Amino acid sequence: MANPKKRKSRSAVRTNRAHLALKETTLNKCPQCGKAVKPHTACAFCGTYRGRQILKVKTTTAKAK
């Protein structure tokens, strides 16, 4: 089994972990209802993706606008 030969120094560990921070998620505006949605994902508020109705949405808030 592969085993590390030497213990990593605190500095080496911290240098490595400097790149592990979480990135801020990118959000686009839904062209249909204008709410913030994840890219490449159907809108959870109005159920559309690329201008087509994909999901059945139970709430009526999207229609009211």
Give the number of C-alpha atoms closer than 13 A to the C-alpha of residue 14, restricted to the C-beta side: 3
Tell me if 57 contacts Zn ion by CB under 5 A: no
The two tokens of residue 15 are 């240098």
Pick the stretch among 2-10, 13-21, 37-45, 51-59 that binds Zn ion (CB under 5 A).
37-45
CB of 60 to Zn ion, least distance (A): 14
One of 5, 6, 24, 32 touching Zn ion (CB under 5 A)? 32
The one-letter amino acid at 64? A
Tokens read off for 13 = 């560990």
Q: What is the DSSP letter of 12?
A: H
**Which residue ranges make up the site for Zn ion (CB under 5 A)?**
30, 32-33, 43, 45-46
